[in-house]
Amino acid sequence: MIRIAAVGDVHVDKDVLGRYRPALEQLPEVADALLIAGDLTRHGTVEEATSFVTEFGELAVPVVVVLGNHDHQSDQQDEVAAVLTDAGITVLEGTSVVLDLHGHRLGIAGAKGFGGGFAGASASNFGEREMKNFVGTTVRIADQLGATLRATECDALVALTHYSPVPETLVGEPLEIYPFLGSYLLAQAIDSAPTALALHGHAHHGSERGRTAGGVPVRNVAHPVIKQAFNVYQLLSEDVDSGLVRA
Amino acid sequence: MTNEVDEYLEARIQRLLTEDATIAEQGITVQRREQIVVLGGEVESAQRRDEICRQINTHFPDVEIACDIGIVRAQAPTEVEEIS
């Protein structure tokens, strides 16, 4: 059995310091790792990344993250990632990590992802250079995510993105902005590997649960959606156990 | 320019909420009622909620604003979901 904690869109700055910490201190008792689905900061500055490390660093479980669109706002995403990495946090972008958790190998492949929309209402790699750049970015990210997922050898495989791979977890958002919230290409990548669970954020007004066309469970863990410090998911269960994690 | 509660005003408010560096929120809803604009959604701190309302009042002094923005709870979970 593996238990993973997950949240996204925590948007840390100095004013948030201390809000998550009491819950995070309980992590070792309830989960084996913490995954964060992007938008770690408000504007993607080094200063905010440092605040994020203060709040989410030095935990007793491994922390694995992807960046979100907010973390790119100041064009300092590389510096932000370096601050996180220096603090022992694993930052994924088209890459994966395998954690050995009491005898089980948890593989996590991550990428920020990007938009484009979903089957039947998606943007095409056609026309103006700006449009081709937009869709081409998603194609490149999704291709890399798929290749990384397929190459990750583990007992349980998790896909971690910021943007959504399915429309079901966007329900609650205006339909008109779905193409800015995710892309079916991410789901296609997720379905190309034996993925056990896909986690994403970004859609603050979305819904918690969905599935890809290939049947992979998808969870939107954006903080305003889950309305608690993190959710806990159990994989590789020996027995069905949906009881209390901790009173 | 008058600040009538029309769709252009709503769009200006939405852009301010996202693009103003002191706000940078994409998850705030803007509802136009007859004579009032209702802001909804949730943010990470009371300071952010107060700053949003302050900025909107500063930029649109003739518009009556109802600030129904909440603060996202951050308590520890009490349940686990089994994935199958």
Per residue in B20-62, pLDDT (tens digit) is: 989 999 999 999 888 899 999 999 999 999 999 999 999 999 9
Which one of A3, A14, A42 would you mutate to disrupt binding with B, by most B Cβ within 10 Å of its Cβ? A42
Question: At residue A244, does pLDDT exceed 60?
Answer: no
Say yes or no: B74 contacts chain A, CB-CB below 8 A. Answer: yes
**Is the CB of B45 less than 8 angstroms away from the CB of A16?**
yes
Shortest CA distance from A223: residue in chain B: B72
Nearest to A219 by CA among A229, A232, A228: A232
Distance from C-alpha of A31 to C-alpha of A101, rounded to nearest angstrom: 10
Residues present in chain B in total: 84
Q: Does a structural domain hold residue B34?
A: yes
Distance from C-alpha of A23 to C-alpha of A108, rounded to nearest angstrom: 23
Q: What is the pLDDT of residues A31-68, one digit of tens each?
A: 999 999 999 999 999 999 999 999 999 999 999 999 99
Q: What percent of chain A has pLDDT over 70?
A: 96
CATH placement of domain A2-235: 3.60.21.10
Nearest-Cα distance to chain B for A82, in Å, is 23
Predicted TM-score (pTM) of the model is: 0.94
CA atoms within 13 A on the CB side of A167: 14
Which one of B43, B45, B80 would you mutate to disrupt binding with A, by most A Cβ within 10 Å of its Cβ? B80
**Is the CB of B83 less than 8 angstroms away from the CB of A235?**
yes
For residue B79, give the DSSP letter: B
Q: How many angstroms separate the Cα of B34 from the Cα of each of A140, A193, B30, B38, B52?
A: 46, 52, 13, 11, 21
Query: Taking all residues of chain A, what is their mean pLDDT, rounded to a whole number?
Result: 96
Say yes or no: B61 contacts chain A, CB-CB below 8 A. Answer: no
- Helix, strand, or coil (residue B64): coil
Say yes or no: B26 contacts chain A, CB-CB below 8 A. Answer: yes
Question: At residue A29, does pLDDT exceed 70?
Answer: yes
Contacts of B76 in chain A (CB under 8 A): 22-23, 26, 30, 228-230, 246
Bridge-based pairing state of the strands A231-235 and B81-82: parallel
Q: Does a structural domain hold residue B83?
A: no
Contacts of A232 in chain B (CB under 8 A): 77, 79-81
Look-up of token digits 């088209």: A94
Specify which residues A65 forms β-bridges with.
Answer: A36, A91
**Is the CB of A233 less than 8 angstroms away from the CB of B74?**
no
Tell me chain A's radius of gyration from C-alpha atoms: 17
> Domain range for residue B38?
7-71
Q: What is the pLDDT of residues A146-186, one digit of tens each?
A: 999 999 999 999 999 999 999 999 999 999 999 999 999 99
**Is the CB of A26 less than 8 angstroms away from the CB of B76?**
yes
pLDDT band of A239, cuts 50, 70, 90: low
**Is the CB of A246 less than 8 angstroms away from the CB of B45?**
no
Q: Does a structural domain hold residue B77?
A: no
Q: Does a structural domain hold residue B81?
A: no
Q: How far is CA A109 from the centre of its chain?
A: 10
Question: Dihedral (C-alpha) A17, A52, A202, A146: value to the nearest 10 degrees?
Answer: -160
According to the model, what pLDDT value does residue A243 have? 53
Contacts of B82 in chain A (CB under 8 A): 233-234, 237, 240-242
Q: How many angstroms separate the Cα of B84 from the Cα of each of A204, A208, A218, A235, B62?
A: 25, 16, 11, 7, 54
pLDDT band of B3, cuts 50, 70, 90: low
Three state DSSP letters for chain A: CEEEEEEECCCECHHHCCCCHHHHCCHHHHCCEEEEECCCECCCCHHHHHHHHHHHCCCCCCEEEECCCHHHCCCCHHHHHHHHHHCCCEECCCEEEEEEECCEEEEEEEECCCCCEECCEECCCCCCHHHHHHHHHHHHHHHHHHHHHHHCCCCEEEEEECCECCCHHHECECHHHHHHCEEHHHHHHHHCCCCCEEEECCCCCCCCEEECCCCCEEEECEHHHHCCCCEEEEECCCCCCCCECCC
Q: What is the CATH number of the domain that holds B26?
A: 3.30.1340.30
Shortest CA distance from A18: residue in chain B: B74
According to the model, what pLDDT value does residue A238 have? 76
Query: Can you tell me the ipTM of this complex?
Result: 0.91
According to the model, what pLDDT value does residue A247 have? 38
Q: Does a structural domain hold residue B78?
A: no
The encoded tokens of residue A61 equal: 């479980």
Number of domains into which chain B is organized = 1
The answer to whether residues B81 and A242 touch, using CB atoms and an 8 Å cutoff, is: yes
Shortest CA distance from A205: residue in chain B: B27
